[in-house]
Amino acid sequence: MSEHSSDNALPEEFPTDLVYALAGTPDLGTCFAARVTGLYQSRDGCKTWHTVYDSLGISDPLPTTSVVLAPDYDGETHRNVLSGVPGGVLRSTDGGETWFATILDSPPPAVSALAISPNFVEDGVVLAATTEDGIFRSANHGSHWARWNFGLLDLNVFCLTISPGFAEDETLFAGVESGVFRSTNGGRAWREVELSVGYEPVISLALSPTYPQDHVIFAGTESQGLLVSEDDGVTWTQSGAAVITDPVNSILLSPDFAESRAMLALLESSLWLSRDAGTTWAQVPNGPESVTAVLAPQGIARGATLLVGQMGGDVSLMALDL
């Protein structure tokens, strides 16, 4: 990965560089990597990378923990991108050339995840999870944010996932230190979801691409493996219990999951693949080491390209060989 990284020293509380999150278009024409040292962009299929915070005029690196693209992002006319940074959310409408900063209420919260409505262009809804202050919600494309934590009894939020049918069902799930919470009103209020393993930290979540019909939810825990519910979170079973013992840091489902049953999981720092909706798992052959983030912009199928972020800040491409 070639890049123009900053030589400035990192604040003490941040580890050495790593990739927290990735975002990109299906053709890999534009990719973003949220890293300890800032937000980076590639416009050449991930061959070269450059920092996109230059226009902010700040000298210190700005650790970026999350990044999301608007669903209509095409790199040309529609270029909304949002990133989560300590104490706020940055918003760009020109693909990262210029940024608008929104400072979230003091004391400054640490943004852990962003979730954007599939209907963002119309409804303008985007949510920011924080590790100590619960969930912030914006309904005007990220211009203004307000905390909406009704019923969210645990404000230490690690991950967020949004229903593909959000425009109709307004459903979201939040993974927190003590389990999972669900909102059915677009993130304005939250209700507890009881897990079969008790109050366990949930660090990753994924909804089936056909969630409004099949109600399938996956929850990755820190120490209790991967949980799956096929009834909208009412009952849960452990999936792949024989293999999955490490923290499930990320879960990706194939866009055609309902037919292919293919999914990827980032277990601790290695990539694993399942082709039967999580019942059996195999480590991705020739997968990179020390993986911290993964993105499958082209789905999970033979020959599809994965974007893999690693410790140290590297981002590499790998073709899936199923």
Partner 1 sequence: MASKPEKWQRSRVVFQPDVHRGMLRGIEQMTDAVRPTLGPLPRITLYDTTIGPIGKIPELLDDGGTIARRIIQIRDRDADVGAMLLRNVLWTVREKVGDGTATAAVVFEATYRAGVRYLAAGGNAMRLRTHLEHGLREILNELDGMTGRVAGKEELTRLATVITREPELGKLLGEIFDIIGEYGRLEIRKGQGRFFDREYVEGMYWDGGLLSRTLITDISRQRTELENAAVLMTDLEIEDPRDLIPVFTVCVKAGITDLAIICRRMSDIAIGMLVMNRDKGKIKLNAIGIKTPGISVSAQRVALMDMVVLTGGRALLQASGDSLRNVKLSDLGRARRLWADKLNLGIIGGKGDPKALRRHIAHLRDVYVSASDTDDRGELQERIGKLMGGSATLYVGGITKTEQDYAKEQATRASDAMRGAIREGVLPGGGAALLGCRSMLQTRIAESVESEERAAYHILLEAVEAPARTLLENTGYEPGEILGQLADVGPYVGFDVVAGQVTNMATAGILDITTVVKTAVRAAISSAAMALTTDVVVHRAKAPEALTT
| Contacting positions for partner 1 (CB under 8 A) | 106-107, 132-134, 147, 149-156, 176-179, 184-185, 188-189, 191-192, 199
Q: Report the nearest approach of partner 1 to the CB of residue 155 (Å).
A: 5
Tokens matching residue 202: 């949930």
Residue corresponding to tokens 């309904």: 139
How big is the CA angle at 144 (ends 143 and 145), to the nearest 5 degrees?
Answer: 130
Choice between 227 and 252, CB closer to partner 1: 227
Minimum Å gap between C-beta 250 and partner 1 is 23
DSSP secondary structure code for residue 54 in this structure: G
Nearer to partner 1, 184 or 290 (CB): 184
Task: Give the integer Cα–Cα distance in Å for 129 and 146.
Answer: 12
Reported as type and span, the H/E element at residue 259 is helix 257-260
Of the pair 133, 314, the CB lying nearest partner 1 is at: 133
> Measuring CA to CA, which residue among 102, 273, 301, 115 is closest to residue 204?
115
Reading the block at residue 20, the tokens are 């927290």
Instruction: Report, in Å, the least distance between residue 181 CB and partner 1.
Output: 10
In the complex, the smallest distance separating the C-beta of residue 120 from partner 1, rounded to whole angstroms, is 21
The C-alpha atoms of residue 248 and residue 123 are separated, in whole angstroms, by 31
Min separation Cβ 186 and partner 1, Å: 10
Give the CA distances from residue 115 to residues 212, 243, 272, 299, in Å, rounded to whole numbers and listed in that order.
17, 29, 24, 19
Tell me whether residue 197 or residue 311 sits nearer to partner 1 (CB atom).
Answer: 197
For partner 1, give the closer residue by CB, 60 or 132.
Answer: 132
- C-beta of 31: minimal distance to partner 1 in Å? 35
Residues 6+ apart with CB under 8 A from 137: 125, 126, 127, 128, 145, 146, 147, 148, 186, 187, 188
Nearer to partner 1, 156 or 269 (CB): 156
